[in-house]
C-alpha cells in the first residue's frame, strides 16, 4: 500500500485531567442541569469591515442556541465573565508532553481566539494557544514530524439538534485539550495506527489525561495527490488501518473515474429538468408517496457518466447520494441502478428520451418537494463536476464497517485574532530545564522498569496502555504479588480499592486464589469490606501452627530446622485455600525457630 503520492497526517485532541483551562470548574461531564439560557451568535465584521449578508441571514433564520448549565460551569462558560488566567497546571502537563515529543517550546505563549459560530463555544470563538513547534517521534516506519502542539479549550457538548435550535451542555466547555498535529509524513493505515498509539502512550505517561469515551479524539487527513480528505473522529485505534486504507482506495478509484470521464469528454448539464410527468402512473411507492404530498421528480443529465455511477468497479452514485443525505434527501435514483425500486424500464426510457440521452450518458433523479429537489440536484451537479476533476476535498465520518461517509465540506481557514483578556505567558529556559528533569519515563523505558518488578513485557505494555502502571508499582512495592496485582488491575475496574485488597491478602486474611473473585464481585457493585470479610478465613493460623509443632516435637528434635518442609506440608493440609501459603510459611519459620531456640 506504500505510494509516494500518499500523504497522511494525524491530529490528536486529548483532554487533560485538571480544572478547566480558564476558570476553576471541574473537568468532568454531568447530567445534572441547573439552568438553561438561549443565545444567538452573529458573524462579525471581517477585517475589512464587511459582513457577509448571506451568512447574516443564515444566522438570523436558524441559529438559536440553548445552553444547559451544569454544576461544573460558571459565569466564564456562560460568557458572562472574562476568562481567568490560563491554568498553569494544564500548561505544565502540555509542556511536558511537548518535550516528550521532542518539540521546542515557544518563548512566550499567546492565547488566540479562533472564530467558531456553530454555537459550540458560547463566546463564538475557541481559545487556543500554540505552545511548541518542530517536534517528532520515531516509529518503525521512520520519523514522523510534529510541527505544532497547541493547548486549547474544549467545546460545549452537543445534546440535541432541533429544527431551529441546537442544545449544548456547558459541562465540557473549557476542559483543557492538547492538540497534537503531525506533518503529512505517513503512508499507510498501519503506520497511522502506530503513530496514534505511540502518541497515546506518551499522553498517558503524564498520568494527567482524562480517560474514557470521547476524552481523546483523532482526525486523520488523507491525500493521494489531489484533494485533502479529513476523517473526523477516527478514534478507535484498531479501526484506523481500515479507515485509512479504504480511504486511499476510494481516492484511487475516484482518480481513475476522473481519467475515464475526461477520456469520454464527460460533462454535466447544469439544467434541472422536471420529469414528474413521466411518473404520473408510477408504481414506485416512494415516488407515489412524494407526489401525493405535492412533491416533484426532478432530474439532471450527466453526459458520459454511464457505468461510472454503479458498476463492478465504480460507485460514484453512492458519493452523490451521500451529498444529498446530509440535507435529509433519501430519494435519489440514478440510471445505473434503474429499473429498480418500483421504477419501470418504460419510465427509465421515457426519462432518457426526454433528456435526450445517448448510451454513454446517465441521469440522476430526486423525488422531493420542488425546492428541496432543486437544492439536492445542485449538490449532485457540484459533486459530479468534481468527479471529472478528481478527488474533492471534504470532511468524512468513519463508520463501523471500516468505510467513511461524507459529512461536510472542509472547514475554511480559521479566522484568528489575539485574546486580549489573557496576558501572554513568558516561558523561561530555566523553567523548561526543570521540566525536562521531571518528565515521566517514555513508555519504552517504563516497560523495562515494570519488567524488573516481575512481569513480562506484554503485561507491562497492557498496564501502560490502561494507565495503571503507577498503581501497579505502588502495590507491588508494598506487598509483592506482581502477577496477581497485574491480573487484578487488567481485569478489574476503576473504582476498586486495590490497595485494600492486597493489604488484606498480605495480612493473611485470605488466600491469593481469592483475589480474582473479590475483584470481580467488587466490580459488580458489592461492598469491598463485606466481600473481604466473607473470604477471610476464620481459621486461627497461629493456633494451627502451634498445635502441629507440639504434635511433632520428636520430628523437630530429630531434624531441627530441616523439619520445616514436612511441617509446612502438614500445616498447609489444614490451611490450603483458606490462608495464603507465603504467610503460613513466614509464620511457621518464625515459630519453628523460636521453638528450637527455646529447647536447645
Partner 1 sequence: MHPEPGDYVEVRTKKGVFKGILMPRNRFSDENVVILKLDNGYNIGIVPEEIKIIKKGHFEKKSHKRDIPRRDYVPTISFIGTGGTIASYVDYRTGAVNPALTAEDLVFSVPEIVEECNVRASILFNILSEDMRPEYWIKIARKVKKELSHAAGVVIPHGTDTMSYTAAALSFMLPELSGPVVLVGAQRSSDRPSSDAYMNLLSAVKVAKTDLGEVAVVMHATTSDDYCHIHRGTRVRKMHTSRRDAFKSINTQPLGKVNKEVVFFQDYRKTGDETVLMDRMDEKVSLIYYYPGMDESTLESLLMDMHGAIIMGTGLGHVGTHLLPIIEKAVKDGTVVGVVTQCLYGRVNLNVYSTGRKLKAVGVIPLEDMLPEVAYIKLMWLLGNYDIDTAKSLLSKNLRGEISDRRMITW
Q: Which residues bind partner 1 (CB under 8 A)?
A: 37-49, 51, 53, 56, 75, 78-82, 104-110, 112, 114-115, 117, 122-125, 128-130, 133-134, 148, 150, 413-420, 423-424, 426
Cβ(376)–Cβ(327) below 8 Å: yes
Q: Which is nearer to partner 1, 58 or 494 (CB)?
A: 58
* Least Cβ distance, residue 69 to partner 1 (angstroms): 9
* Least Cβ distance, residue 13 to partner 1 (angstroms): 16
Cβ neighbourhood burial of 193 (10 Å; 0-12, 13-18, 19+): buried
- The residues facing 176 across adjacent strands are 153
Cell 518542530 -> residue: 134
Q: Which is nearer to partner 1, 23 or 549 (CB)?
A: 23
**Among 244, 247, 219, 251, residue whose Cα is nearest residue 10:** 219
Distance CA 537, CA 498 (A): 19
* Least Cβ distance, residue 484 to partner 1 (angstroms): 48
* Least Cβ distance, residue 429 to partner 1 (angstroms): 9
Q: State phi, psi for 343 to the nearest 5 degrees.
A: -85, 130
Q: Which is nearer to partner 1, 133 or 237 (CB)?
A: 133
Q: Which is nearer to partner 1, 6 or 129 (CB)?
A: 129
Q: Which is nearer to partner 1, 22 or 333 (CB)?
A: 22
Distance CA 432, CA 428 (A): 7
Q: Which is nearer to partner 1, 77 or 336 (CB)?
A: 77
Which residues lie below 8 Å from residue 439, measured CB to CB, with a gap of 6+?
96, 99, 100
Distance CA 105, CA 474 (A): 33
- The residues facing 234 across adjacent strands are none
* Least Cβ distance, residue 51 to partner 1 (angstroms): 7
* Least Cβ distance, residue 115 to partner 1 (angstroms): 7
Quote the cell numbers at residue 541. 493460623
Q: Which is nearer to partner 1, 134 or 160 (CB)?
A: 134
Q: Judging by DSSP bridges, how do beta strands 165-169 and 64-69 pair with one another?
A: parallel
Quote the cell numbers at residue 376. 439536492
**What letter would DSSP give residue 237?**
G
* Least Cβ distance, residue 152 to partner 1 (angstroms): 11
Instruction: Say how many C-beta atoms besides its own lie within 10 A of residue 33's C-beta.
Output: 15
Beta strand spans in 386-437 (E)? 394-398, 404-408, 416-418, 425-426
* Least Cβ distance, residue 130 to partner 1 (angstroms): 4
* Least Cβ distance, residue 8 to partner 1 (angstroms): 19
Q: Which is nearer to partner 1, 174 or 398 (CB)?
A: 174
Q: Which is nearer to partner 1, 106 or 410 (CB)?
A: 106
CA 35 from chain centre, in angstroms, equals 29
**Among 113, 402, 117, 103, residue whose Cα is nearest residue 241:** 402
Amino acid at each position: 500500500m506504500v505510494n509516494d503520492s500518499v500523504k497522511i497526517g494525524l491530529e490528536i485532541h486529548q483532554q487533560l485531567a485538571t480544572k478547566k483551562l480558564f476558570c476553576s470548574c471541574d473537568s468532568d461531564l454531568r447530567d445534572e442541569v441547573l439552568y438553561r439560557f438561549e443565545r444567538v451568535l452573529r458573524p462579525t465584521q471581517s477585517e475589512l469591515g464587511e459582513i457577509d449578508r448571506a451568512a447574516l441571514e443564515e444566522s438570523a433564520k436558524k441559529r438559536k442556541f440553548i445552553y444547559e448549565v451544569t454544576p461544573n460551569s460558571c459565569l466564564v462558560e456562560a460568557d458572562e465573565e472574562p476568562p481567568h488566567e490560563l491554568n498553569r497546571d494544564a500548561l505544565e502537563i502540555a509542556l511536558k508532553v511537548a518535550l516528550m515529543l521532542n518539540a521546542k517550546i515557544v518563548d512566550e505563549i499567546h492565547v488566540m481566539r479562533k472564530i467558531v459560530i456553530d454555537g459550540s463555544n458560547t463566546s463564538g470563538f475557541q481559545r487556543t494557544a500554540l505552545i511548541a513547534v518542530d517536534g517528532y517521534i520515531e516509529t518503525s516506519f521512520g520519523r514522523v514530524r510534529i510541527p505544532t502542539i497547541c493547548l486549547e479549550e474544549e467545546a460545549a457538548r452537543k445534546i440535541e439538534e432541533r429544527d431551529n435550535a441546537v442544545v449544548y451542555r456547558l459541562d465540557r466547555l473549557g476542559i483543557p485539550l492538547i492538540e497534537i498535529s503531525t506533518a503529512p509524513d505517513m503512508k499507510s493505515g498501519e503506520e497511522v495506527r502506530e503513530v496514534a498509539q505511540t502518541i497515546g502512550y506518551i499522553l498517558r505517561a503524564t498520568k494527567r489525561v482524562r480517560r474514557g469515551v470521547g476524552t481523546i479524539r483523532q482526525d486523520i487527513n488523507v491525500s493521494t495527490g489531489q484533494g485533502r480528505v479529513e476523517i473526523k473522529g477516527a478514534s478507535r485505534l484498531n479501526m484506523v488501518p481500515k479507515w485509512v486504507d479504504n480511504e486511499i482506495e476510494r481516492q484511487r478509484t475516484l482518480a481513475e473515474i476522473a481519467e475515464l470521464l475526461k477520456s469520454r469528454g464527460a460533462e454535466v448539464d447544469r439544467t434541472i429538468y422536471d420529469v414528474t410527468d413521466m411518473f404520473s402512473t408510477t408504481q414506485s411507492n416512494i415516488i407515489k408517496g412524494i407526489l401525493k404530498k405535492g412533491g416533484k421528480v426532478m432530474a439532471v443529465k450527466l453526459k458520459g457518466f454511464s457505468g461510472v455511477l454503479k458498476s463492478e468497479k465504480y460507485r460514484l452514485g453512492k458519493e452523490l447520494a451521500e451529498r444529498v443525505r446530509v440535507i435529509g434527501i433519501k430519494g435519489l435514483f440514478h440510471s445505473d441502478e434503474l429499473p429498480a425500486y418500483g421504477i419501470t424500464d418504460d419510465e427509465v426510457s421515457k426519462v432518457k428520451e426526454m433528456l435526450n440521452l445517448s448510451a454513454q450518458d446517465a441521469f440522476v433523479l430526486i423525488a422531493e418537494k420542488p425546492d428541496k429537489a432543486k437544492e439536492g440536484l445542485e449538490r449532485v451537479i457540484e459533486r459530479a463536476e468534481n468527479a471529472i476533476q478528481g478527488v474533492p476535498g471534504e470532511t468524512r465520518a468513519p463508520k463501523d464497517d471500516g468505510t467513511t461517509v461524507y459529512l461536510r465540506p472542509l472547514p475554511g481557514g480559521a479566522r484568528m485574532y489575539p485574546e486580549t483578556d489573557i496576558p501572554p505567558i513568558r516561558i523561561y529556559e530555566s523553567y523548561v530545564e526543570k521540566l525536562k528533569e521531571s518528565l515521566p519515563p517514555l513508555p519504552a523505558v517504563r516497560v523495562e522498569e515494570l519488567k524488573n518488578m516481575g512481569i513480562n513485557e506484554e503485561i507491562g505494555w497492557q498496564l501502560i496502555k490502561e494507565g495503571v502502571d503507577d498503581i501497579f508499582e505502588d502495590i507491588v512495592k508494598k506487598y509483592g504479588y506482581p502477577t496477581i496485582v497485574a491480573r487484578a488491575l487488567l481485569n478489574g475496574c476503576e473504582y476498586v480499592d486495590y490497595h485494600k485488597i492486597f493489604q488484606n491478602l498480605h495480612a493473611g486474611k485470605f488466600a491469593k486464589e481469592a483475589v480474582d473473585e473479590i475483584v470481580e464481585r467488587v466490580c459488580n457493585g458489592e461492598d469491598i469490606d463485606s466481600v473481604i470479610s466473607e473470604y477471610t478465613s476464620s481459621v486461627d493460623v497461629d493456633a494451627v501452627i502451634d498445635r502441629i509443632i507440639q504434635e511433632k516435637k520428636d520430628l523437630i528434635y530429630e531434624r531441627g530446622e530441616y523439619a520445616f518442609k514436612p511441617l509446612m506440608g502438614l500445616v498447609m493440609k489444614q490451611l490450603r485455600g483458606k490462608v495464603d501459603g507465603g504467610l503460613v510459611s513466614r509464620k511457621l519459620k518464625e515459630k519453628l525457630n523460636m521453638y528450637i531456640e527455646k529447647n536447645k
